[in-house]
């Protein structure tokens, strides 16, 4: 008998990272946790619209969970989508960065997700939103909610900051690669270099061609590299840049803060958990809108930091990250999550 099975939709690197970190928190608290990735299969080609995407992924998650959860005391679904079509007879929790009611457009194409989601969130034994924004967007009535952010690990300091800027753009449209490129073209120092993670040069070139934008000079694309290698580049950077058109959490920004790297960002819509921290550290590094010119000015302000100001930024960031550290979150899981999720009998 397994204590907890985590059904992981694992459709993005961020979800994979979040699920693995949450499972480790459970194990660190003395309970067993098995992560079971959802296998989408050939039907994944049908994911061309939000409604179809949710249906394909929900069906795949139900198929995966049917066997995987048979001997589990409780189940955690890693997104509301993974929970949509699951039976509600076994104790379960739903962990999520955003609800369908928040990140799916209104109207009939998404009506079934929102309707089914309300039932799933009401019948759960526990809800585990990762952010304050996700918690605030819960529909009433709903099961008890315990906010458990994605853990932020220490990022080793670099001996020098020899990279001008880094940005993550694994999904070029969503991550605002066009806005990042235009901002960079306006402010790039003569000896500067922008390192973009999550995609290679060929994929970036196709994106620029598709939208009719000239590829910016002095830009390097890393492709999908090991996380440790990417974090080392972020730690060597003078600024991390974000221009996402929607931000469910901000894992890459949290990692930059952990490295003591100033973050220049647009105020991306969504339950952007990292945004209040970034504003607190320096409001001038947050543009007023999703605008390349304003983002460029924020980048310039970060690049103007001297060593003393960058050290002060890093020290204050370290303090703000304390509630997100694994040791703080283990206490929450031990005291507020496991006793409820693994309790015998109905909730």
pLDDT tens track for 56-95: 899 999 999 999 999 999 999 999 999 999 988 889 999 9
Sheet containing 33-37, strands listed edge to edge, beginning at the edge strand earlier in sequence: 33-37, 2-8, 72-77, 92-96, 126-129
What pTM was estimated for this model as a whole? 0.92
At 184-220, the pLDDT tens digits run 999 999 999 999 999 999 999 999 999 999 999 999 9
Hey, do 2-151+325-341 and 163-322 end up sharing a CATH topology, with the first three levels equal?
yes
State the burial class of residue 29 (Cβ atoms within 10 Å of its Cβ: 0-12, 13-18, 19+): middle
User: pLDDT tens digits for 112-124?
Assistant: 788 889 999 999 9
Helices (H), the chain: 13-28, 50-68, 80-83, 100-103, 111-123, 132-136, 177-187, 201-211, 227-235, 251-258, 275-281, 292-303, 307-320, 326-332, 338-341
Q: How far is the C-alpha of 271 from the C-alpha of 274, rounded, in Å?
A: 9
Q: How confident is the model at residue 51 (pLDDT cuts 50, 70, 90)?
A: low
Residue of 154, 97, 151 lying closest to 129 (CA atoms): 97
Residue given tokens 């270099």 in the structure block = 193
- Tokens representing residue 329 in the block: 């979150």
pLDDT at residue 44 greater than cutoff 60: no
pLDDT (0 to 100) of residue 227: 94
CA angle 242, 309, 149 (to 5 degrees): 45
C-beta of residue 124 within 8 angstroms of C-beta of residue 143: yes
What pLDDT does residue 108 have?
A: 62
CA of residue 147 relative to chain centroid, distance: 15
CATH number of 163-322: 3.40.50.2000
CATH code linked to domain 2-151+325-341: 3.40.50.2000
Q: Delimit the domains of the chain by residue range.
A: 2-151+325-341, 163-322
């Amino acid at each position: 008998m397994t204590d907890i099975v985590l059904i992981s939709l694992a459709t993005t690197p961020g979800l994979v990272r979040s699920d693995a970190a949450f499972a480790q928190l459970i194990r660190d608290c003395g309970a067993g946790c098995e992560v079971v990735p959802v296998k989408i299969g050939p039907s994944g080609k049908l994911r061309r619209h939000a409604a179809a995407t949710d249906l394909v992924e929900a069906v795949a998650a139900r198929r995966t969970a049917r066997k995987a959860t048979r001997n589990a005391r409780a189940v955690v679904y890693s997104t509301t989508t993974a929970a949509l079509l699951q039976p509600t007879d076994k104790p379960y929790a739903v962990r999520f960065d955003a609800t369908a009611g928040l990140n799916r457009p209104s109207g009939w194409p998404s009506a079934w997700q929102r309707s089914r989601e309300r039932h799933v969130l009401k019948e759960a034994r526990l809800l585990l939103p990762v952010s304050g924004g996700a918690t605030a967007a819960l529909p009433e009535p709903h099961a008890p909610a315990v906010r458990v952010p994605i853990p932020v690990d220490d990022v080793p300091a670099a001996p020098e900051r020899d990279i001008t800027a880094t940005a993550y753009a694994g999904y070029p449209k969503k991550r605002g690669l066009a806005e990042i490129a235009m901002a960079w073209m306006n402010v790039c120092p003569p000896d500067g270099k922008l390192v973009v993670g999550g995609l290679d040069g060929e994929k970036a070139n196709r994106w620029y061609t598709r939208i009719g934008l000239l590829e910016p000079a002095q830009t390097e694309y890393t492709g999908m590299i090991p996380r440790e290698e990417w974090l080392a580049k972020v730690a060597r950077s003078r600024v991390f840049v974000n221009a996402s058109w929607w931000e469910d959490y901000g894992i890459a920004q949290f990692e930059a803060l952990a490295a003591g790297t100033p973050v220049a960002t647009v105020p991306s819509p969504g339950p952007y958990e990292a945004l209040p921290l970034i504003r607190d550290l320096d409001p001038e590094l947050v543009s007023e809108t999703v605008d390349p010119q304003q983002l460029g000015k924020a980048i310039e302000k970060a690049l103007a930091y001297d060593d003393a100001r960058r050290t002060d930024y890093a020290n204050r960031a370290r303090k703000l990250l304390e509630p997100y550290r694994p040791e703080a979150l283990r206490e929450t899981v031990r005291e507020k999550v496991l006793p409820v999720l693994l309790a015998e009998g109905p909730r």
